[in-house]
Amino acid sequence: MVRLFVALALPESLRTQLSMLAGGIQGARWVPPENYHLTLRFIGEVENWRADEVDEALSAIRCRPFELCLRGVGTFEKGGKIGSLWVGVEKTEGLTHLQQKIETALQRVGLDAERRRFAPHVTLARTDKAPAEKLVNFVQSHNLFRAPPVMMEHFTLFSSRLGKENPVYVPEVEYELA
């Protein structure tokens, strides 16, 4: 069994910019810069033969490169508690088109449809143990964050192993956008 997800790996320049936002909130578990990514589709635990089918399906996707624009910060809540802090992503036609093609390809190989609406973001921190007022202040003071657009020329199938501190993400296959 292997735990998989499909994502856009962020270039070093963006990871550096995002890492400069991190810190200053007691109780927040900040994502290490090497783990920054934009999830296009979480797959979860699958058998190795299914992972091969996933790879084959993703290999057949044809999409053009597109610009990725990060801007603003926000939070996701679960059960009335702020669970994570994120940087927003502008929803562009190119991004939406790629995400929909990935979803369709994965359903064709027998994976269940994703139930959650696609909300593109890059997670900065897990915040379930951080004071809500500190998180609100962080969002207010960083909501004008904007990174210069970067051209996305590939997407990646990652495997993930849950660790004690942070998960370990391994890029398994890169798929070119052309």
Active site residues: 37, 121
- Partnered with residue 71 across adjacent β-strands are 146
69 with 171: CB under 8 angstroms? no
Helix or strand or coil: residue 24?
Answer: coil
Q: How far apart are the first and last CA of the chain?
A: 31
Q: Which is nearest to 89 in space by CA: 65, 73, 69, 62?
A: 69
Q: E strands along the chain, which residues?
A: 2-9, 29-30, 37-46, 66-68, 70-78, 81-89, 121-126, 150-152, 154-161, 168-176
β-strand 154-161 against 2-9: which pairing, if any?
Answer: antiparallel
The total number of residues shown for the chain amounts to: 178
